[in-house]
Amino acid sequence: MSSSHDVVVVGGGPGGYAAALYGTAAGLDVAVVEKQKLGGTCLHVGCIPAKELLETASVYRTVAHADQFGITSGSPSVDMGAAQARKQKIVDQLHKGVGKLLEGRKVTVLDGWGSLGPDRSVTVSGGESGDATLTAEHVILATGSAPRTLPGFEVDGKQVLTSDELLSITELPARAAIIGGGAIGLEFASLLADLGSEVTVLEALPRILLGADDDVVKMLTRAFKKRKIEIRTGVSVSGCRSTADGVELDIEGDEPLAVDAVVVCVGRRPYTDGLGLDAAGVETDDEGYVVVDEYCQTTTPGVYAVGDVVRTPQLAHVAFAEAIMVVKHLLGESPAPIDYGNVPWAIYCHPEVAFVGHTEASAQEAGFEVATSVHRFMGNGRAMIVGETDGLVKVIAESDGDGTGGRILGVHMVGPWVTEQLGQGYLAVNWEATVPEVAEFIQPHPTMSELFGESVLSLTGRALH
């Protein structure tokens, strides 16, 4: 079988299906090649299942403290089988929805492994669609990523797990070690601790959560400590072994750590296995990422790459944005390159973290004279009503020289529902709005979002509260 298309997309995750949907909306004939499941990592072993289980943890936490609201409910218990069933139902519904969207847009979807050939050809094999050769004016590589592992940690899905295995557990470990203090590791630490596990986070770097402002990290660390989550930074692990009681983890220069499960959360590697990049002349860097320019063009004319296979933030919404930019570019519409320094970040641990743009330290390092404003949720009416007052909002602005703020450079938050509140800060940073401009906007009361408004207003030199 052979066929010709305007665009062939290899990979059906967020970057791949977004390129297909946006491309067909622009009138292009698009084919998608996917061997596993449409929706990719995000839908099946990433964003969606992780957040669903974190919501289970949130419900458990709420019920456990229901007496504070005058509700007598008794001590809750966790049925992980039921939680996993609900998670899978949501994943399956969304998976079906992606398929229907592609079908409705008349995207050709082939089940099989895609391999890049000469002259923008893609061979398809090993799937239900049978062997095929596709040719196109443009090819978009969107094959995603896989969890990184560590030497000395043999993943068995029971005692040593990656994010893939943890999201399907039906029994909670009594003691868990999380290796990695980034977004994924902190979300899993929060999830397990809420559901009753004793959790230790081990991070090789001097601090957790790179990219977030120091004040946010300090607040999150205190909140985790109150929940008895131990965070150990600057530590190096060298391996682990099974024992009669579970797993013993070797930590350089320290005593071994005894746990029941080890979760390796040290990032994800680009998944380019069998993609035929070398033969097609597509360059990769020393870690296997596909090399692209500011428009996600590879070193082979007509071939683009988006999402986790390129060295950009491994976020589903970044893959969406890259897919849209690529389609615009191949149509000759001259889109603006993505400003990766100002993409929104959302971490769904408890308390949540969300941020965009410069931290105070990075703004100073970039040569800005900085003015900052910090407001805490402890005085926010809505936060007090819902019983979640740990957290803060920090606005980093370019100083006008008198302590007041000019252009807003960054917004960093930790606290209740901040992942849903970052929109104002994201728009302010990316539209290069100034403090006086944003301070004019009215915040509804009582809401969590008032804290952002208060923080900006105080940078005018006239705080309200």
What are the catalytic residues?
A: 445
For the record, the structure tokens of 8 come out as 């062939």
The strand pair at 230-233 and 198-203 is best described as parallel
3-state secondary structure the chain: CEEEEEEEEECCCHHHHHHHHHHHHCCCCEEEEECCCCCHHHHHHCHHHHHHHHHHHHHHHHHHCHHHHCCCCCCCCCCHHHHHHHHHHHHHHHHHHHHHHHHHCCCEEEECEEEECHHHEEEEECCCCCCEEEEEEEEEECCCEEECCCCCCCCCCCCEECHHHHCCCCCCCCEEEEECCCHHHHHHHHHHHHCCCEEEEEECCCCCCCCCCHHHHHHHHHHHHHCCCEEEECCCEEEEEEECCEEEEEECCCCCEEECEEEECCCEEECCCCCCHHHHCCCECCCCCECCCCCCECCCCCEEECHHHECCCCCHHHHHHHHHHHHHHHCCCCCCCCCHHHCCEEECCCCEEEEEECCHHHHHHCCCCEEEEEEEHHHCHHHHHHCCCCCEEEEEEEECCCCCEEEEEEEEEEECCHHHCHHHHHHHHHCCCEHHHHHCCCCCCCCCCHHHHHHHHHCCCCCCC
Angle, vertex CA 268, rays to CA 265 and CA 272, nearest 5 = 155
